[in-house]
Amino acid sequence: PPGGGGGGNGNGGGERSITGELESCAGGMYHFTYTASRTGHYTLSLVVGRDKTLVGDANFPVEVLPGELSSQKCGVFGGKLGTGTMVYGSSVTFGLYLRDTLGNYISCEHYKRGFSHHNITEVAVYHEASDDSNHAVWNVPARVGRCRDNVYHDGALDVLDGVMDVTFLVPRPDGESSA
């Protein structure tokens, strides 16, 4: 059976778990499949028999990395978002925090290490006018800047949360970006 535990960088606020399943046991070889729902450092223990003897008299370290970047789980914060005080032609920067499809934090190190499936190829900012305003609807490209890690403490764990800086120019009322 699989074992789990250990410390390290995980997704704060959720119970970590690894589930395992015996795939085959032919010819004295046992093949297991393990699935983890939370990132972090784990200790894998394999035991056999009624006495649950530890295989190899050792535990095995396992690091579970975040999965593919998910736009549905990422979020934004900061800047002048939601305040209604953006000025035409001004530059606005906000933070885009990075998450995988299970909501696990993606640190900047993991973002860079898994660039092939975390790569943010395009960011656009949309503005939809409210029903009671005469403001223009607009869509402008944004520039992705540096990635920085915020550190959170979850009990004994330090959790790294990757945040990308995103900057855009607020367009003029005619919908064109300022130069």
Q: Which of 65, 154, 160 is nearest to 113 (CA)?
A: 65
- pLDDT tens digit string along 124-136? 888 776 666 666 6
- pLDDT tens digit string along 19-66? 778 888 888 788 888 888 888 888 888 777 788 778 887 888 888 888
User: In the prediction, which pLDDT does 59 show?
Assistant: 85
φ/ψ of residue 99, rounded to 5? -140, 155
Whether pLDDT at 3 is above 70: no
Whether pLDDT at 146 is above 80: yes
